[in-house]
Structure 1
Amino acid sequence: MERWAALELASTIRHDGEGGVADELATVQGLKDWIHRQRALLGGHDLAAVDERLRLRVVEVRRAVRALFARAVSPTRPSPPDAHRLMPTDSAAAHLNAAAALVPVTPQLDWPHDGSPAVRLSATRDDPHAVLLAALARAAVEFLGGPQRERLRACTAPRCVRYFVKAHGRQEWCKPSCGNRARAARHYERHHRAQDGAPAAP
């Protein structure tokens, strides 16, 4: 569903595997590659003309999304890479709303002879950049306004910087490898506390 594009956009900031943070949208080519990979979530958008201006506009939508994700997971800590410089939440909401309004959207009914009726949204503007930005913003609005928001979490595994939607009651991490890393870190800490004579952490 298109709303999951918001989570994918937030996840373009990720752990680089070497102790740092990588930004998939740091270059025009990076944005072009990401759009190509996510075209199914973005309603088929796969732009040929991607430039620096579009990259900066998409990054600004991401800033707004990550600021509102940080608010959604509060009072627990947000994802760490940009937690110290988040956009104010009222500005983030206003930015998403403005981006979502870039392209008027009309609901259209599709009802094939041999199937069930379905609603599709038809964008009524020819500017492909505006269509993409509006699609990303609408995805975030739908995500944050829907039930997924209550299950949004920031992964607490060492070095992970991802947000994820909690799939079951005991889930603490975004993926099994993060769980393994977190358990290993806890074991390491307990072992060294015991060697130092300090009480083990609970």
Structure 2
Amino acid sequence: MTTNAPLLDEPLPVELMNTIWADRDGVHDALRDPDGTRSWLHAVSPRVDLMTPDDLDALTAADLDRLGDRLISLRDALRRLAAEAVQDPRPAAASRTRDLQAAVTVLNKAAGDTPHWSALSWTPGQAPSRHTRTSGQAASAAASAIAEESIELFSQDARRRLRACLAPGCVLYFLKDHPRREWCSAACGNRARSARHYQRHRRTDT
């Protein structure tokens, strides 16, 4: 089970933003249906200690519909906040959530939708271990955990490393992890350099 969304080893809030992606056929939504929602959650589940593949496989179609709606709402809010943080100039990347305060409200609500907390287990003679508990479905708690991580991202210095990929046709975001990094991926870097080369030669020819 694979997701259509590009996974760039970014923090989970950025990976969720990037469930809106583009190719030559236009802009796509990897969460557009229950199968897409389940596939994306399966893909990121190793990075979330609140859910397992078995938890996801146990979700009903109705569960996935509700969860998909929550993730899409959260995703659109995050893309609006990201656009504000980076002054994103890309019309194709614009979020369906237009109002900044509405995006903040959605994010804050999502973080508290399904409470989760840490618990310690310690059996005599064995090493202590940490477990995560939740008052609701594991996948729903995972969505709240992503929202909580998003609040941390936007409220701390990491926000200043957030970038919009300005390669032609791209609508993705990334965290700048190297001073020379300009694009979300090598493929976008190649496309951007090709576009620059074309424009230079076009100006020269004219």
CA contact 1:105–1:121 (8 Å) conserved in 2 = no
Could you tell me which residue of structure 2 aligns to residue 67 of structure 1?
80
**After the TM superposition, which residues 55-134 of structure 1 pair with which residues of structure 2 at under 5 Å, given as runs?**
55-74=68-87, 77-83=88-94, 85-108=96-119, 122-134=132-144
Partner SS for 2:160: helix
CA contact 1:123–1:131 (8 Å) conserved in 2 = no
CA contact 2:49–2:132 (8 Å) conserved in 1 = no
Which of 160, 163, 166 does residue 173 from structure 2 map onto? 163
Q: Which TM-score applies when normalising by structure 1?
A: 0.81
Q: Which TM-score applies when normalising by structure 2?
A: 0.80
Residues 160 and 110 of structure 1: is their aligned pair in 2 closer, same or farther, counting only changes over 3 Å?
farther
Could you tell me which residue of structure 1 aligns to residue 31 of structure 2?
25
1:141 aligned partner, one-letter code: I
Percent identical: 38
Unaligned runs of 5+ in 2: 1-9
* Range that drifts further, 175-184 or 150-159: 175-184
Q: Aligned Cα RMSD in Å?
A: 2.6
Which of 33, 54, 65 does residue 52 from structure 1 map onto? 65
2:173 aligned partner, one-letter code: Y
CA contact 2:19–2:29 (8 Å) conserved in 1 = yes
Unaligned runs of 5+ in 1: 197-202
* Structure with greater helix share of residues: 2
Residues 180 and 124 of structure 1: is their aligned pair in 2 closer, same or farther, counting only changes over 3 Å?
closer
Could you tell me which residue of structure 1 aligns to residue 45 of structure 2?
39
CA contact 1:79–1:163 (8 Å) conserved in 2 = no
* Range that drifts further, 130-139 or 159-168: 130-139
Partner SS for 2:92: coil
CA contact 1:79–1:155 (8 Å) conserved in 2 = no
Query: How many matched pairs?
Result: 189
Partner SS for 1:81: helix
CA distance in structure 1 between the aligned counterparts of 2:116 and 2:138, rounded to whole angstroms: 14
Residues 129 and 37 of structure 1: is their aligned pair in 2 closer, same or farther, counting only changes over 3 Å?
closer
CA contact 2:119–2:132 (8 Å) conserved in 1 = yes
Could you tell me which residue of structure 1 aligns to residue 7 of structure 2?
none
Could you tell me which residue of structure 1 aligns to residue 164 of structure 2?
154
1:12 aligned partner, one-letter code: T
CA contact 2:77–2:95 (8 Å) conserved in 1 = no
2:101 aligned partner, one-letter code: D
CA distance in structure 2 between the aligned counterparts of 1:90 and 1:171, rounded to whole angstroms: 31
Are 1:190 and 2:197 an aligned pair? no
CA distance in structure 2 between the aligned counterparts of 1:6 and 1:184, rounded to whole angstroms: 30
Partner SS for 1:31: helix
